[in-house]
Amino acid sequence: MMKLISKTTLIILILCCTTFIAKAQLGYNYSPYDIGFGIGLDKVYGDAETLTTTQAVHLNFSYNATPYVNFVFEAQLGKLRGGDSLKTKSGRYFNNDFSAFIFRGQLQMGEILDYSNSQFNNAIKNLYVSAGIGFVVNHITQINRYSILDPGYYTPGINNSKEPFIPLRIGYEFKLFNRYQQPSVKIDLAYGYNLVLSDNLDGFTAGAKNDVFTQFALGVKFALGSGDISYRKQITY
């Protein structure tokens, strides 16, 4: 009888300690992996005189070293377009079906700020900067190289290319928490500046500057796994 009571007491103590430890971790744990998707509004700053906004879709996978230090692999598919063959002097117009593959690191302000006693720091803790390396595959489906307004004017270039680029990004990640106060859904609003290391993105080779394409992106990410990794600071306040 005494052995049964002792075993029961021990089990109760273990359960109480486990519950206490679990409650003590509320707001500290997070998942190391996210999967997500999004949309982007893109513009090309290249050799065509007029700008056009086009759309792209994004798929991404993230490894979270901490809730505020992230490594993201992203694939993008979409169109890039610009120029006007009738109204510009050069006559340049292009339509590019592109795919891009990006790996970047992301640092959120919560990693370097003490936000426990500051409403301002708590508000900006999800603000982030990001940089990395990317690779874009271009397939020009429509292009005009001759000028109507200036007969004989011609712009050379190539219709298909594979180019490295440097993705720079600033954004804000709105974190939504589950009942255990772990970030389970993240809404990402960002602006990206992508510096292409060539002059071939738009199919035209003209001027002294490399091409750039920018993006306004909206995405959502979902945490994978049980969220059993503990962070040194409370994540939500």
Contacts of 150 (CB under 8 A, 6+ apart): 89, 90, 91
If one compares 7 and 60, the residue with the highest pLDDT of the two is 60
What's the rounded Cα separation, in Å, for the pair 226 and 229? 9
Residue-wise pLDDT for 145-202, tens only, equals 999 999 889 999 999 999 999 999 999 999 999 999 999 999 999 999 999 999 999 9
Q: Which residue carries 């000028």 as its tokens?
A: 147
Q: What is the mean pLDDT of residues 217-229?
A: 92
**Nearest partner of 232 among 114, 121, 61, judged by Cα:** 114
In a domain, 15, yes or no: no
Q: Which domain holds residue 223?
A: 33-227
Question: What is the reported pLDDT for 10?
Answer: 44
Distance CA 36, CA 218 (A): 11
What percent of the chain clears pLDDT 70, i.e. is strictly above it? Answer: 89
The confidence score (pLDDT) of residue 197 equals: 97
What pLDDT digit, counting tens, does each position of 53-108 carry? 999 999 999 999 999 999 999 999 999 999 999 999 999 999 999 999 999 999 99
- Is 125 part of a structural domain of the chain? yes
Helices (H), the chain: 2-24, 119-124
Assigned domain for 1 exists: no
**Residue 86 within any structural domain of the chain:** yes
Taking the model in full, what pTM does it have? Answer: 0.86
Domain assignment present for residue 10? The answer is no
**Is 26 contained in some domain?**
no
Burial class (CB in 10 A: 0-12, 13-18, 19+), 211: buried
Residue 167: burial class (beta carbons within 10 Å; 0-12, 13-18, 19+): buried
CATH code, domain carrying 118: 2.40.160.20
If one counts the domains in the chain, the total is 1
Residue 167 lies in a domain: yes
